[in-house]
Structure formats: structure tokens, C-alpha cells
């Protein structure tokens, strides 16, 4: 059955747990291309280099009934008091999902949170913006 | 259910200022004892006739240029409150009541006394008693609550979160510039929009039903006659316009935005006046009578 996907079908999971009050996520993948054009050729040619991916997400800074705060948990990946700073153990496993009934179209990967920001503005709901950088290959890409 | 007409409404204004006080200096030459007027430096329009002001010396010196009849106990102090009349060249006369200040006569003004040295003063507009705005034709008040979209991914329906409340409105009144006793004219509001130095704020009560107003029809209990309901808020004038057309009454329209809380109040219990031992009323310094409300 034909179907358009909207934000209603989207969700963001952190370590397999659906995050509450996510208002947006974005994901982009890129590939470095290494030029192999040689003299005498009339068209440029390339060979694939290293692939990478990054993205961002916005979450409302929201405390659930059980006291959990998904936005806060993500912010803590970068806003913390650990003297060691960010280490290799500070990766997170994201799943960006478009669901269609029982069928999930997922992009799953391990990433570092590379930027985290939030603030307080008059007349606005507090929200947190995070950027992430994928490390390693995607573990799932069921688009 | 009863049916009410717009006649049941009215507007009550309170002169006030929440902004900073005006610092100035009273020089000996500023005091004209014979004319009972004095002056100090202030921008034109900063203080308006009928304002209830507080004058305080900033070095704790006595306000010795104000005569004994300007003080309730007859003794000169370093701070006091008066109603003022401001003439066309910025001269000020002090009065002990609002109605006299509107008239501006020398006879009713507080006497002044010559001084020999400068007195530094701070002047601010104090809250005065509420007065009915005369000749109002119509008014409207809009209250608006901002809604913030907090819809999240996976939600099927938009979710909104209530945020700040703002208010605005406008009133139209037949133009007049001369106050009658205990009433304000729309000209005061037109002056207020031009007052820049200490702000153009006013307190207002917009009555939906005034005390004594009965409905035009429907069912109504006699005990409801003395009920009154009103919006209460502070507001800033944002625009005033006066319309002139041949053969038509001059009307002024004043637009405003509210600042701070907007409250919809109701008084359904008759208030009693607290009296002195001799049966006389207790008159508040800012005008009006001291009242108490019985809890039934």
C-alpha cells in the first residue's frame, strides 16, 4: 500500500529505548571521493574513499512522570563534570526510525554526541539540540 | 439567565507610574510665594494636572518651601504627597485634594514659603484613587494566551502548551479636556501617551457590570443588583487618535497593551465602610474611603 511518511511515523531511539518528546532528527551521510583522472582522459573519474555520517536532533527538555529526562540524558553526554572529558566509552547507539505499522525502517549506528546546546527563552518551551557524529559503519540501514 | 447591555459597563482609571522617580532641584528662585507656585526641571508632560505625586528631599532636608497647610499635622517633613496643577509654563501648585488640583486656583493651593538654599528632591507619581473615565462610548479588551506547539515525533495530534498571556484593547470616548469632579477625561490618556520621562502607564478597571446596574431582560435576583464584575490590569497607551468631522462629535480612540497580570474580579458581597468613633468616614490618603468586606 502506498504511503507517505511524516513526522508522525518518525522516532528516535537511544540504546533501543524510544526517546520522549523528540521534535526532529536529521541524518546525512557523505562519501569522500578520490580523483583518479589521468592525462588524456576527457571525463573526471573517482574512486570511493572514506564514508561518514552525522546528524542532529532536537528534544524538548521534558521531565516525565517517572522523573526521567531524555533530553537531559543526552545533554549529559557532553555537559558533565568528568575530568576525563569524553572517552571512547561515551558513545551512544542511535536508531532513527520510520515506522509503517509493524515494519520499521531503521538507521542504526554508534555515535559520539559532538554538540549539545539548550537555553531558556521567554514564551518558549525549553528544548535541547544535539549534533552527533557516527563512528564506524552503520549497523542497520533498513530504509 | 439575564441579558445585559453595554450600558452596564464603565471604565475606572487609576493614575500611577511604576517607573523611576524624577530627580531635580528646587532653587530659591523657583518658589513664588505670592502666586503659590514653584517649579523644578522636568520634561514637559512628565507630570500632569491631577497627578498625585510624592516629593521627597534626597538629603533628608525638610521640604521647607511647603507651607504648614500642606501637611496633615501642620509640621514640615522631608517627604509628602499632594495633587498637582501644572500650568502652561511648567509651574506647579500643590493641593490637598484631586478636585481642587483640576481647578488650579491660587486660593485652594497649598501656601509656599521662601527658602534660602537649594533642596534636592525626588518626585514620583503615586497611585491615586480610581476615577471613572467620562463620556466613554465603547471599549474592548482582548486577552490572548500564546500556545506553544510541543508536538513530538510519533504524535498523531498536535499538542499545545499554554504560555504567556497578553492583553490589548481600545476605548473610544467623546473628547473633553476639562475634568469634572472625580472623573477623568480622555484627554488625560492622550497626554499620557506623550509622557516619556516616567512612562505612560495607568491602572484600569474595565467593568462588565457596575454596581447598581440591572440587566435589560431575563431572570435576575434583586440581590444581584449590587454585584460588580471587572477586569483589572495595568496598561500602556500605544496609540491615540482623534477624529474631526463636520457636524459630528469629536471622539478619541485610545489603544493600549496591558502589562503584568490581567484579572477578572467579582464583588458579590456588599462591602461595609469602616468608620471612626464619631461615625465619620476614614478617608484614605490617596482618596476613597476605607472599606471592609464581611465574610458570611
Rg of chain B on CA atoms, in Å: 23
Residue A42's pLDDT is 94
- Distance from the Cα of B244 to chain A's closest Cα (Å) equals 41
Nearest CA in chain A to B166: A123
Neighbours of A94 (CB within 10 A): 25
* Total residue length of chain B: 296
| The C-alpha cell that represents B173 in the structure block | 470616548
Which of B 136-155 lie inside 8 A of A, CB atoms?
Answer: 146, 148, 150-155
- 3-class DSSP state for residue B119? strand
C-alpha cell at B196: 516619556
Binned at pLDDT 50, 70 and 90, residue B296 comes out as very low
* CA-derived radius of gyration, chain A: 19
pLDDT tens for each residue of B91-134: 899 998 887 888 888 888 999 999 998 999 998 888 777 888 88
Contacts of A21 in chain B (CB under 8 A): 150, 152
* Contact: B163, A7; criterion CB under 8 Å: no
Summarised one tens digit per residue, pLDDT across range B261-289 is: 999 999 887 666 667 777 777 766 655 66
Task: Give the distance from residue B162's alpha carbon to the nearest chain A alpha carbon, in angstroms.
Answer: 9
pLDDT-based confidence at residue B222 (cuts at 50, 70, 90): confident
- pTM value? 0.69
Q: With a cut of 50, which residues of chain A have pLDDT below it?
A: none
Backbone angles phi, psi at A42, to 5 degrees: -100, -5
Per DSSP, the residues of A58-116 read EEE----TTS--HHHHHHTTTS---TT-S-GGG-EEEEEEEEETTEEEEEEEEEEEEEE
Q: Nearest-CA neighbor of A28 among A103, A107, A140?
A: A107
| Pick from B155, B156, B161: CB nearest A125 | B161
ipTM: 0.75
What SS3 class is residue A71?
Answer: helix
The distance from CA A38 to its chain's CA centroid, rounded to whole angstroms, is 38
**Which of B146, B148, B156 has the CB atom closest to A8's CB atom?**
B156
Q: Chain A: nearest CA to B164, how far in angstroms?
A: 6
User: Are B155 and A8 in contact (CB < 8 Å)?
Assistant: yes
Chain B closest CA to A52's CA: distance in Å?
25
Spatial contact of B281 and B292, defined as CB atoms under 8 Å apart: no
User: What is the spatial distance between Cα B119 and Cα A86, in angstroms, rounded to a whole number?
Assistant: 65
Chain B residue at shortest CA distance from A7:
B153
Residues paired with B153 in a beta bridge:
none
Cell of residue A19, nine digits: 526517546
Stronger pLDDT, B194 or B60, i.e. the higher one: B60
pLDDT above 90 as % of chain B: 24
Q: Do A122 and B153 touch (CB under 8 A)?
A: no
Amino acid at each position: 500500500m502506498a504511503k507517505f511518511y511524516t513526522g508522525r511515523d518518525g522516532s528516535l531511539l537511544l540504546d533501543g529505548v524510544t526517546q520522549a518528546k523528540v521534535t526532529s532528527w536529521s541524518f546525512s551521510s557523505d562519501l569522500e571521493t578520490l580523483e583518479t583522472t589521468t592525462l588524456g582522459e576527457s571525463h573526471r573519474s573517482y574512486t570511493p574513499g572514506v564514508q561518514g555520517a552525522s546528524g542532529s536532533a532536537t528534544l524538548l527538555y521534558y521531565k516525565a512522570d517517572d522523573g526521567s529526562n531524555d533530553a537531559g540524558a543526552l545533554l549529559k553526554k557532553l555537559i558533565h563534570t568528568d575530568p576525563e572529558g569524553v572517552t571512547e566509552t561515551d558513545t551512544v547507539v542511535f536508531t532513527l526510525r520510520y515506522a509503517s505499522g509493524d515494519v520499521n525502517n531503521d538507521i542504526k549506528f554508534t555515535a559520539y554526541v559532538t554538540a549539545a546546546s539548550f537555553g531558556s527563552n521567554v514564551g518558549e518551551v525549553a528544548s535541547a539540540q544535539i549534533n552527533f557524529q557516527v563512528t564506524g559503519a552503520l549497523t542497520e540501514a533498513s530504509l | 439567565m439575564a441579558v445585559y447591555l453595554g450600558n452596564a459597563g464603565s471604565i475606572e482609571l487609576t493614575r500611577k507610574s511604576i517607573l523611576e522617580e524624577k530627580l531635580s532641584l528646587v532653587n530659591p528662585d523657583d518658589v513664588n510665594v505670592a502666586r503659590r507656585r514653584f517649579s523644578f526641571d522636568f520634561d514637559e508632560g512628565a507630570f500632569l494636572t491631577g497627578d498625585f505625586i510624592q516629593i521627597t528631599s534626597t538629603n533628608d532636608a525638610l521640604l521647607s518651601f511647603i507651607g504648614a497647610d500642606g501637611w496633615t499635622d501642620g509640621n514640615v517633613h522631608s517627604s509628602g504627597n499632594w495633587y498637582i496643577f501644572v500650568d502652561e509654563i511648567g509651574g506647579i501648585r500643590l493641593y490637598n485634594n484631586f478636585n481642587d488640583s483640576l481647578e488650579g486656583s491660587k486660593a485652594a493651593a497649598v501656601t509656599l514659603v521662601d527658602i534660602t538654599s537649594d533642596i534636592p528632591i525626588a518626585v514620583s507619581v503615586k497611585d491615586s484613587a480610581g476615577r471613572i473615565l467620562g463620556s466613554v462610548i465603547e471599549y474592548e479588551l482582548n486577552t490572548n494566551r500564546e500556545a506553544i506547539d510541543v508536538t513530538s515525533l510519533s504524535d498523531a495530534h498536535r499538542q499545545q502548551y499554554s504560555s504567556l498571556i497578553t492583553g490589548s484593547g481600545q476605548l473610544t470616548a467623546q473628547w473633553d479636556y476639562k475634568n469634572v469632579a472625580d472623573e477623568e477625561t480622555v484627554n488625560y490618556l492622550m497626554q499620557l501617551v506623550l509622557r516619556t520621562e516616567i512612562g505612560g502607564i495607568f491602572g484600569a478597571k474595565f467593568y462588565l457590570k457596575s454596581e447598581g446596574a440591572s440587566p435589560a431582560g431575563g431572570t435576575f435576583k434583586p440581590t444581584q443588583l449590587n454585584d460588580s464584575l471587572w477586569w483589572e490590569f495595568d496598561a500602556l497607551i500605544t496609540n491615540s487618535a482623534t477624529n474631526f468631522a463636520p457636524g459630528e462629535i469629536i471622539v478619541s480612540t485610545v489603544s493600549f497593551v496591558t502589562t503584568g497580570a490581567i484579572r477578572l474580579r467579582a464583588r458579590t458581597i456588599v462591602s461595609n465602610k469602616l468608620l471612626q468613633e464619631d461615625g465619620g468616614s476614614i478617608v484614605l490618603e490617596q482618596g476613597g474611603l476605607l472599606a471592609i468586606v464581611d465574610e458570611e
